[in-house]
Amino acid sequence: MEENYPGELTCYVTYELTDEKEVIIHYKATTTEATPINLTNHSYFNLAGHGSGEIHDHIISLNANYYTPVDETLIPTGSISSVISTCFDLREPKSIQTLFDMNPEGFDHNFCITGDPGIERKAAW
C-alpha cells in the first residue's frame, strides 16, 4: 500500500505511431484491490521538429465542453465548469500563442472529454 491507497497497481503504456501520422497512447492498469487511478500523459512535442523554434504557431483543438478549475496550488477544486466564454474553450482550433495571450499563466488543468465513458474517440487534434 503506497500513500494509503489499497492494493498493488500494475500499469502499462504503449505509444503507437500510425501511417496517418498520429500518436496514439494506450493505457492499461490492473489492481489487486479497488483503488482510484487517473492515468495521464505530460509529454510535450514540437510538431515542426527538433530545432525548429517555438510552438506558438501550432494549432490545437480539444473535444471538451468542461474543465476542472484549480486552486492557487494547481490542485483541482472539485468543481466542473463549462468552457464556454473562457480561455479553456478549445472546441474550435486556436493557436498556442492565442491561448498564451488569453491566459499568460499557462494551462495546467484537466479537460473533460465529451462523450460516453468507455467509448474511444478523438480527444485532441
In this prediction, residue 4 carries a pLDDT of 81
The pairing of beta strand 110-113 with beta strand 23-31: unpaired
Render pLDDT for 28-77 as a digit per residue (tens, 0 to 9): 999 999 988 888 888 877 878 888 888 888 899 999 999 999 999 988 99
Quickly state the pLDDT bin for 82 (edges 50, 70, 90).
Answer: very high
Quickly state the pLDDT bin for 1 (edges 50, 70, 90).
Answer: low
pLDDT cut 70: percent of the chain above it = 98
Say whether pTM exceeds 0.85. Answer: no
Phi-psi region of 76 (alpha: psi -120 to 50; beta: other; left: phi over 0): beta
In this prediction, residue 89 carries a pLDDT of 96
pLDDT cut 90: percent of the chain above it = 54
User: Cell 486556436 maps to which residue?
Assistant: 94
Euclidean distance between CA atoms 81 and 41, whole angstroms? 22
Average pLDDT over residues 117-124: 82
Structural contact between residues 70 and 76, judged by C-beta atoms closer than 8 angstroms: yes
